[in-house]
Amino acid sequence: QKEVEQNSGPLSVPEGAIASLNCTYSDRGSQSFFWYRQYSGKSPELIMSIYSNGDKEDGRFTAQLNKASQYVSLLIRDSQPSDSATYLCAPSAGRASKIIFGSGTRLSIRP
C-alpha cells in the first residue's frame, strides 16, 4: 500500500463546476496536511494547509479532513481554466517527520 494515494486522473471538469480531488494516507500519526498545485514544467506551490478535522475554506478552495477515515480532499468551486494543473497531496506526521507527497491528480478544466 502506498503511503499517499491519489487518483492520477486526468480529471476533466467543465468550467464553472466544482472539482473534487481526493487523497488517502496510511500513516495514522499524520497531523498536518498540505495541498500543492503544480503547473506543467513548474515547481509545486502551496495552496492549502489543514491541521484539524472538518473543512477549511480559502477563496474558491476548500480542504476537508477526516482523520478517522485517513482521508483529505480539496474542492475547487467555480473552476477556471487556470486551475488546470496537477494537485499534490502531502501529509506530515508532525515535527521532525518528513512530508510525503502523493503522485498527484491531473485536473483539466474544459471550456
Partner 1 sequence: EAGVAQSPRYKIIEKRQSVAFWCNPISGHATLYWYQQILGQGPKLLIQFQNNGVVDDSQLPKDRFSAERLKGVDSTLKIQPAKLEDSAVYLCASSLDLSQPQHFGDGTRLSIL
User: How many residues touch partner 1 (CB under 8 A)?
Assistant: 25
Q: Is 46 in the site for partner 1 (CB under 8 A)?
A: yes
Q: Is the dihedral of CA 66, 71, 76, 77 positive or negative?
A: negative
Contact 52, 42 (CB under 8 A): no
Q: Is 7 in the site for partner 1 (CB under 8 A)?
A: no
- Exactly one of 11, 67, 93, 108 binds partner 1 (CB under 8 A); that residue is 93
Q: Is 32 in the site for partner 1 (CB under 8 A)?
A: yes
| CB of 67 vs partner 1, minimal distance in Å | 16
- Give dist(CA 98, CA 44) in Å, integer: 16
